[in-house]
Structure 1
Amino acid sequence: MVTLMKAVLFVMVSFVSARDVPDFLKVCKRQDPDLPNCVSESIDHLRPLLVDGVAEYGIPALEPLLLHEIVVSQAGGLKIAGNNIKVHGCSNFAVTHLSIELSTIDVEVTIELPNLWIEGTYSVEGKLLLLPVVGSGPLQINLTLCKGEVKMRGNVFKDDNGVEHLSCAEMDLKISVGSGVVRLDHLLGKDDAFGVLVNSAINKHFDTFLKEIKPLLEEALSEAFKDIANKIVEPFNYAQLLLND
């Protein structure tokens, strides 16, 4: 009798969950010979909703992406710290390649990010061209023609009712950037020839600057995408998200 009741409960839980699958989730079949393409289409179908998030399902907004403090120390003793950083453009990604290994739930995705615009406030101190530089003000960074290589590893776990769910256990994103421009306004409390000189010097060595901030951006984007992925898939059982037939 107990066993029968457990079986009935399992069916009821599965049934209720199935009814709750939202329309914005395009479900794929495990045996689909073109499963990667189906998943890519599902991501593309969902992407517009990520701009503002989906509060009903606890999916946070991706625009803008908020970062913690970033600190860049360039050769020569110039230190720039950024605060209240907001990254715009993360939701405007396009999936150009996707591969899936269901046996290990490993997914590799290549995405293109046409433009990432970063704003916030900065403080800077140190020396540039042997001149002391101390100041603070608005910060802007514009990155164009970005490309991301994403590696994800999924995990299947059981809830209290023994129903299997899918989660994203690991996510690693590496970014390449085509070009970029940095702008620090109000150096020394005003915009003058000295500020132009400092910005020019930083942008002249933009590759060095980018080398410092890239790991911070990669970590922040990885955590953001991982959190969103889990908010999307964890409420539904594994069989719902990838149908057996």
Structure 2
Amino acid sequence: MILAQVLLYSIRKPLSNFANARMKKSADFLRDVITVFCMVTLSQTVYGQEACTTPSNTPGVCVLANACPSIFKILMSSIRTREETQLLQSSIVSCPQSGDTKACCEKPSKSLPPYLVVCKRNDPQINKCIENSIKEMGVRMAIGDSDNGVKQVEPIFVSRFIDGIYLPMENMVLYMQNVTFTGLSNYRVSNARLIGNEKKIMYDAYYEQLQIKSKIRLERPGMRRMQFAGMMLTGDIVGNYSANAKFTLTYKIIKRGDTEYMEFTTVKINFDIHQSNIKLYVMNSEVSLSENDNYLAALTPEIEKSFANTYLNAANEFISQYTYNQLLPES
């Protein structure tokens, strides 16, 4: 920071004191250099600094006043507006002072991960771009990336019991517990579209091989468990299936201070499950479930709900780190 203070001191005089236009240009250039220097210094020193809230009510850190680009710009102004003076004063009083003057400075925007495909709102091929972006992020969300705030969504857990699925071909009632799904990264995306005026993103996905695992209990229908304990069987269910899914995501634009951010409000998924290969393992025996049984129809609402909740939470956790213009710039 010594270099920044020396350079800052060298240009404190108003620009009107410079003798000619060449010197004015040199001062402008020097000012730009110092601004960049301050931004780099800020990005390197925000960690470990005391947290604060900026006058615009956004998260910030306490740094030397001349190391914050927005405050530095005000300090360099020969004429300050009333609003600028109030901003400067509010930024300074937000931080404890000891020695050099400190100000509350907004944290620099976090850089987007390199694998995120950024789509521009005015791009005539934006729907194709969104397809590519969804595909890349879907793979990352399946495996997770803690360094960039991408929460791992696989395996997906069904949070409650699935009770009373009647299997007519076996004349048994199936109860499921601790149901998990994997294979989420193996999918194709198509027909993606952004409906900007409705703040909605829609796309189709085809999952080639989803895997399911669960603890199960089988009972004969109409039997009282205590009297007919021998008719109750426990075991596991494992298998895989392919599925088509239609996704509809709605979002809204929220503000933190003067900065816009994106937030998903709902995720709706409609699954069409087919080509299943589900097996029950009960008492050291393997039983294949008939596709004529209605277990898929009974499972589908739970699958849709679990997938939607998991993706909604993970997506919002990720995008909350970045501004709206970072994620979906206008041009």
Residue 134 (str. 1) matches residue 232 (str. 2): yes
Shift, 1:2, TM fit: 6.5
RMSD: 2.7
Quick one: higher RCO (CA 8 Å, sep 6+), 1 or 2? 1
Aligned residue type for 1:126:
R
- CA–CA distance in structure 1, aligned partners of residues 303 and 270 of structure 2: 9
Unaligned runs of 5+ in 1: none
Tell me: CA distance 1:101–1:66, structure 2 relative to 1, closer, same or farther (3 Å).
same
Unaligned runs of 5+ in 2: 1-80, 92-104, 223-227
- 1:205 matched residue in structure 2: 292
Which structure has the larger Rg over C-alpha atoms?
2
Does the 8 Å contact 1:62/1:91 carry over to 2? no
Which one of the candidate residues 237, 242, 252 is aligned to 1:155?
A: 252
Tell me: CA distance 1:173–1:204, structure 2 relative to 1, closer, same or farther (3 Å).
closer
Aligned residue type for 2:187:
F
Does the 8 Å contact 2:261/2:320 carry over to 1? yes
Tell me: CA distance 1:72–1:179, structure 2 relative to 1, closer, same or farther (3 Å).
farther
Deviations 1:189-212 (A, max 9, x none): 342xxx64xx4xx41523x11110
Does the 8 Å contact 1:72/1:213 carry over to 2? no
- 2:267 matched residue in structure 1: 171
- 2:115 matched residue in structure 1: 24
- 1:185 matched residue in structure 2: 281
Does the 8 Å contact 2:276/2:291 carry over to 1? no
- 1:53 matched residue in structure 2: 144
Does the 8 Å contact 2:176/2:214 carry over to 1? yes
Shift, 1:98, TM fit: 0.5
Structure 1 stretches (4+) deviating beyond 3 angstroms? Answer: 75-78
Aligned residue type for 1:70:
I
- 1:90 matched residue in structure 2: 184
Structure number having the greater strand percentage? 1
Deviations 1:128-176 (A, max 9, x none): 9xx97411111113212x10011111111112x2311101101110011
Does the 8 Å contact 1:71/1:81 carry over to 2? yes
- CA–CA distance in structure 2, aligned partners of residues 6 and 100 of structure 1: 38
TM-score by length of 2: 0.62
- CA–CA distance in structure 1, aligned partners of residues 292 and 231 of structure 2: 17
User: How many correspondences in the alignment?
Assistant: 227
Does the 8 Å contact 1:72/1:212 carry over to 2? no
Does the 8 Å contact 1:29/1:35 carry over to 2? yes
- 2:305 matched residue in structure 1: 219
Residue 34 (str. 1) matches residue 132 (str. 2): no
- 1:73 matched residue in structure 2: 165
Aligned residue type for 2:162:
I
- 2:241 matched residue in structure 1: 143
- CA–CA distance in structure 1, aligned partners of residues 313 and 233 of structure 2: 35
Does the 8 Å contact 2:167/2:173 carry over to 1? no
Shift, 1:75, TM fit: 6.6
- 1:122 matched residue in structure 2: 216
- 1:113 matched residue in structure 2: 207
- CA–CA distance in structure 2, aligned partners of residues 204 and 217 of structure 1: 17
- CA–CA distance in structure 2, aligned partners of residues 3 and 82 of structure 1: 63
